[in-house]
Structure 1
Amino acid sequence: MATAEPIVYHIKPTKLIPNSPKPLLYYKGFFLRDGKVDPLLIYDTFMSNGWEPRWVTRYGTHQRSHYHGTTHEVMAILSGPGAIRWGVADLDDDPDKHTYGGANEEGGLDMEVDVGDVFVIPAGVTHKNYNPKATQFDAQPLTGGEAHYIDSPEPRKLVGQLPMTEFTMLGAYPKGFSWTWDEGGDDVGRYESVWNVPTPKLDPVVGEKGGINKYWRTEPIKAKF
């Protein structure tokens, strides 16, 4: 495995997006082995640390910027490369303009990402996952359940059988939490409720020592603006 020490990004709130005082954690190439990853190793790692895999999705050429205001999230890249934009809201409904034309708030963090990378995302941090070279327009969930659950009596087995092509990720959430799709402006005036989503006991990648237990605050967070 690559280093268990994540790259840390502090993404400040904007006029439309809460983002978080808790940093985004980036484990670069963590699950990479000889240029490939084992989806079942990722699945089992997250489950053993109390984070439940809910979807595997292949991303298209476009996606709206969004965040989850009620839960933290972890995403692991099963195949790539791809692109992610963090921290800013879309300012136009035209998908070409908000994905490629700069029709978004200033200050976003743009990344080229690849297989084996893992992101632990605090509640409130926006992300737009897309692949300029994709053969499809929209994201395609490969595990059914409208990406809220893996629609199979044997979810682990299904994940291990999926074809991993183009830009594909697996997403998981702390057990007992459910995600909502939130966009710019949805939580203006109540950012504190997003920032204070409870921190799980274990980091999804490294467990008890390090990760969120090293970098995320657990005391109540108050707005300063």
Structure 2
Amino acid sequence: MMEIVHIHKPCKGVPNSPLPLLIYRKVIEADTKDVAESLEHLFAKNDWPPHWRSSVYPFTHFHTTTHEVVGVYVGSAELQLGGDNGKVYRVEVGDVILIPSGVGHKCISATDDFMLVGAYPTDHNPDICRDQPEKLSERTEAIKRIELPQSDPVLGRSEGCIKQWQSEGA
């Protein structure tokens, strides 16, 4: 199941995005032998090479140089999406979140073992931006220059963000 979350409006210094954030539930079953490896394989197969295994920062941050995908491989958490006024979403093992460039995200609470796999489209590397209202204009312009990915990290070249983001007029 894919949830489509629209976070269009800026929140203080967080630009957010005209592209919807996508949440894929139970992409990998919790009883899979190695959920992290399965997520990494799925992302890599779809041209989103894995970059890290960690948690989510406890402060609002976003990226102006790339879109990001994260997959939960152990534990659960409540993540705030869209900046300090954003909605809180619960994620658990097997869930994947595709975060468009500019969308603020942070961890509100998590189990002690909560961990994610993080990935970006091939040849893209993230910057880390914090909520700084004085930089909103330049960062909004930067995210407008980010190209759409060639494939969805979960569903491949013809589904997911490929269809959804194109239909949003991006």
TM-score range relative to shorter protein: 0.7 to 0.9
Change (3 A) 1:193 1:112: same
State which drifts further: 125-134 or 110-119.
125-134
Q: What is the CA distance between 1:12 and its match in structure 2?
A: 1.8
Aligned residues: 167
The structure with more radius of gyration: 1
Q: Secondary structure at the match of 1:51?
A: coil
Alignment partner of 1:9 out of 5, 9, 13? 5
* Structure 1 residues 118 and 37: alpha-carbon distance in aligned structure 2, compared to 1, 3 A threshold: farther
- Aligned position for 1:183: 130
2:88 & 2:3 partners in 1: Cα distance? 15
Written as runs of structure 1 = structure 2, the 5 A alignment for 1:63-212 is: 63-88=58-83, 104=84, 106=85, 108-134=86-112, 166-185=113-132, 187-190=135-138, 191-212=140-161
* TM-score, structure 2 as length reference: 0.88
Percent identity reads 32
Q: What is the aligned counterpart of 2:18 among 12, 17, 21?
A: 21
Cα-to-partner distance string for 1:151-172 (whole Å, 9 max, x where unaligned): xxxxxxxxxxxxxxx1100000
Give the conservation status (yes or no) of the 8 Å contact 2:13–2:131.
Answer: yes
C-alpha contact 1:11 1:24 (8 A) present in aligned 2? yes
The one-character-per-residue Cα deviations of 1:98-128 (angstroms, maximum 9, x if unpaired) are xxxxxx3x3x110111100000110000100
Q: Mark the CA change 1:18 to 1:26 in structure 2 (over 3 Å): closer, same or farther.
A: same
SS in 2 for 1:215: helix
Shift of 1:67: 0.2
**Can you give the 5+ residue segments of structure 1 that lack an aligned partner in the other structure?**
89-103, 135-165
How far apart are 1:58 and its partner, in Å?
3.8
State the AA in 2 paired with 1:173.
Y
- SS in structure 1 at match of 2:65: coil
Secondary structure of the structure 2 residue equivalent to 1:12: coil
Within 2, Cα distance between the matches of 1:38 and 1:132? 18
CA contact (8 A) 2:75 2:110 kept: no
Distance 2:80 2:163 in 1: 25
Q: Please give the alpha-carbon distance, in whole angstroms, between the structure 2 residues aligned to 1:76 and 1:181.
A: 19
Look up the SS of the partner of 2:49 in the other structure.
strand
Q: 1:130 to 1:53 in 2, by over 3 A?
A: farther
Deviation, structure 1 residue 218: 8.5
Q: Counterparts of 1:10 and 1:52 in 2: how far apart (Å)?
A: 26
- 1:220, CA displacement in angstroms? 8.2
Q: Secondary structure at the match of 2:28?
A: coil
Partner of 2:89, secondary structure, is strand
